[in-house]
Amino acid sequence: MADVRQIEGEDIPSEDARFGIIASRFNDEIVGKLIDGCVRALKERGVAGRRITVVRVPGAYEIAFAARRMAMSGDYDALIALGAVIRGETPHFDYVAGECARGVSEVSADLDIPIAFGVLTTESDEQAEARAGGAMGNKGSEAALVAIEMINLARELAR
């Protein structure tokens, strides 16, 4: 590997990077923790609050629509999708979770913008809690780091 060219996005955000978070209200207790973890992780790495926008939507199914409008605005360098789809609560879990993921990746590809996917899809409340600041970490914070890295990578690859 020593003789190959490797390109990786840095984990330090550039001062001008702008982040848009789309977060669903369904399972708000969980999603609130994802938002807190995400915003905290961005701020800890030096991102100013004025460079972070949080848009709320009713459920995970609506995330892609808001993400598309935000991407179309040109106001963001990366988006972060946050939500919680819990199987125990819905017979249409697979539709909501599947369409959310499909919609978000379509927006990313169609509008050429990195989108970090921090939407939990779990079997139970307990599994979701564990990933929202519990034993399995905070997927909102992890998504923030992904967004930082992907903005830097996108800039590297655009050169």
Token pair recorded at residue 150:
């992907």
Cβ-based nearer residue to ligand INI, 24 or 152? 24
Contact window for ligand INI (CB under 6 A) among 9-17, 42-50, 59-67, 135-143:
59-67
**Footprint on residues 60-99 left by ligand INI (CB under 6 A):** 60-62, 83-86, 89-90, 96
- Letters for 1-40 (x = contact with ligand INI by CB under 6 A, - = none) are -----------------------x-xx-------------
**CA-CA-CA-CA torsion sign (5, 8, 13, 18):** positive
Cβ-based nearer residue to ligand INI, 10 or 65? 65
Token pair recorded at residue 42:
């961005």
Would you call 109 helix, strand, or coil by DSSP? helix
92 annotated active-site: yes
Cβ-based nearer residue to ligand INI, 97 or 144? 97
- Among 12, 72, 89, 92, the active-site one is 92
Q: How far lies 31's CA from each of 46, 58, 100, 159, in Å?
A: 23, 12, 15, 36
For ligand INI, the binding residue among 32, 59, 130, 145 (CB under 6 A) is 59
Contact present, 123 and 54 (Cβ < 8 Å): no
Phi/psi at 18 (5° precision): -120, 130
Beta partners for residue 121, in sequence order: 85
Positions annotated as catalytic residues are 92
Q: Rule CB under 6 A: which residues touch ligand INI? A: 24, 26-27, 58-62, 83-86, 89-90, 96
